[in-house]
Structure 1
Amino acid sequence: MFTFSPLSLFGKEALLGHHKWPWRIIRQQFANKLQALARGTDLIVLPVVLAFTDLVFHGFVSTFSFCMMFSQIFHAWAHETKSKLPPLVVTLQDMGLILSRREHVEHHRAPHNNNYCIMSGVWNKILNESKFFDALEKILYFQFGVRPRSWTDRNSEVTEETSISNNIDQA
């Protein structure tokens, strides 16, 4: 029988490692950031596009899939210093169309239970205030046994290295 675990998509070390060493996402190759999400997108989009003929629906599916697939790129840009980003990316971040470093840094600060949206961050405030992420953490824990970082002792092995993570704050 097939059992799904959120950690099976990227691996426990990759997910926890990102929080211990957040700068690593910047150093990954472009294809490495895209490959897992691109595979999922291929498996879902093709059948959906073949099953439905509505062009508006195709436009939505295409836009949604593009954003999902490139969310790791947007996330990586949220870890990079402005001086190393293309001007267009900085403009998109400043407009709030893609995740900015200032918005994402809260996700990497204790208690590590907020700002999970890595595409644009637009929904973070609403989802944080409604305690959506708290409920989702409980569901994932009870369904898959994945213990959220926000429940972990701050002195645990997944505490990020602050000397490096402070680079996120640089403008």
Structure 2
Amino acid sequence: MKNELKNQLRQQDAKALAQGYSPAIRAMDIASIVTFVGLESALVWRLWSGAHTGPWLVLCAVLLGYLAADFVSGVVHWMGDTWGSTEMPVLGKAFIRPFREHHVDEKAITRHDFAETNGNNCLVSIPVAILAVVLPHSSPGWVFVSTFLGAMIFWVMATNQFHKWSHMDEPPALIGFLQRVHLILPPAHHQIHHTAPYNKYYCITVGWMNKPLAMIGFFPAMERLITWATGLIPRKDDIGTEAALELFEATASAEPPVVQAAKELLEATTAEEPKPVSSARPS
């Protein structure tokens, strides 16, 4: 089935997609990075001088923020890959286009500079950054929430940089070490997503959430729900109508791996159960 779908893919031209990065979008990227850095700096200053800030509180918030960022990266990546069109006003050029370009030309991201790589993530993080800065720091609970939000969007901002490194042929030595110990997104792990038809392993901060989400069939379930509610076909703009319809029908009929495993375990247990011995005496 995978080979048949791969032959049906009708993706857009990589050069045309790359040309969609206009001067206006670049200016927006630069402004977003400057704003994001300013807000995060303001949050660090508040935490540094806060009476309720403690090392263990900050450490826990940063680690939980890392996991949350991995999940958020998966949801945003899935949305950009799966829904909408590159022709949509604003969203199409600024957000959806980079996802579609990346599927056609995986190495394009390695040629992007810092602003083009990270501007989008900074832009979408600004509202959360504002919230993190303005929250009261009147108790350890509020400080934890503020720190968690700030840490989460910091890792969200870093996600595309991690993603870019995972596609580099020779990343810096320290980055290669972090990839090998799976503290940031490893190339081999991410390559699973880049296997046609590109419908799994969307989490790209570190990738820790990919396996659990795949086991429960999270993204296929979300696609069925959205299609039921709106009639839209997932990935239609990315891989073409024919392949998108065939893929949707195949995933709609498939059970999540965790359900399949549970059924196999139940069947094995049932088969091994001994038959009851009759207590009646022979005549």
Structure 1: which 5+ residue stretches go unaligned?
155-171
Q: Aligned to 2:130, which of 24, 38, 46?
A: 46
TM-score for the superposition, normalised by structure 2: 0.47
Consecutive aligned runs of 4 or more in structure 1 exceeding 4 Å deviation: 139-144, 149-154
In the alignment of these two chains, the number of paired residues is: 149
* Deviations 1:101-159 (CA, angstroms, capped at 9, x unpaired): 000001010232111001001011111111112123334555594622588656xxxxx
**1:29 corresponds to 2:105:** no
* Deviations 1:20-67 (CA, angstroms, capped at 9, x unpaired): 111101101111111121122222211332123222222211211111
The residue identity in structure 2 corresponding to 1:136 is M
* Counterpart contact for 1:78–1:101, Cα < 8 Å: yes
Counterpart of 2:234 in structure 1 is 147
The residue identity in structure 2 corresponding to 1:36 is N
- The percent of aligned pairs where both chains have the same amino acid is 26
Larger radius of gyration: 2
CA separation of 1:118/1:152 partners in 2, compared to 1, >3 Å: closer, same or farther?
Answer: farther
Q: Distance in 1 between matches of 2:226 and 2:168?
A: 30
Structure 2: which 5+ residue stretches go unaligned?
1-78, 85-90, 244-283
Q: Distance in 2 between matches of 1:55 and 1:94?
A: 34
CA RMSD of aligned residues (A): 2.6
Counterpart of 1:57 in structure 2 is 145
Q: Distance in 1 between matches of 2:149 and 2:175?
A: 23
CA separation of 1:138/1:38 partners in 2, compared to 1, >3 Å: closer, same or farther?
Answer: same
* Counterpart contact for 2:128–2:153, Cα < 8 Å: no
**1:66 corresponds to 2:154:** yes
* Counterpart contact for 2:203–2:209, Cα < 8 Å: yes
* Counterpart contact for 1:112–1:150, Cα < 8 Å: no
CA separation of 1:139/1:25 partners in 2, compared to 1, >3 Å: closer, same or farther?
Answer: farther
Q: Distance in 2 between matches of 1:151 and 1:134?
A: 18
Q: Distance in 2 between matches of 1:108 and 1:136?
A: 20
CA separation of 1:129/1:150 partners in 2, compared to 1, >3 Å: closer, same or farther?
Answer: farther
* Counterpart contact for 1:110–1:150, Cα < 8 Å: no
Q: Aligned to 1:79, which of 161, 167, 173?
A: 167
* Deviations 1:1-33 (CA, angstroms, capped at 9, x unpaired): xxxx85527444322111011110110111111
* Counterpart contact for 2:132–2:147, Cα < 8 Å: no
Q: Distance in 2 between matches of 1:144 and 1:25?
A: 32
* Counterpart contact for 2:201–2:207, Cα < 8 Å: yes
Q: Distance in 2 between matches of 1:140 and 1:21?
A: 28
Q: Distance in 2 between matches of 1:22 and 1:76?
A: 9
TM-score for the superposition, normalised by structure 1: 0.75
Q: Secondary structure at the match of 2:214?
A: helix
Q: Distance in 2 between matches of 1:123 and 1:73?
A: 18
Q: Aligned to 1:88, which of 174, 194, 197?
A: 174
Counterpart of 1:131 in structure 2 is 217
Counterpart of 2:207 in structure 1 is 121
Q: Distance in 2 between matches of 1:20 and 1:119?
A: 21
Q: Distance in 2 between matches of 1:150 and 1:127?
A: 23
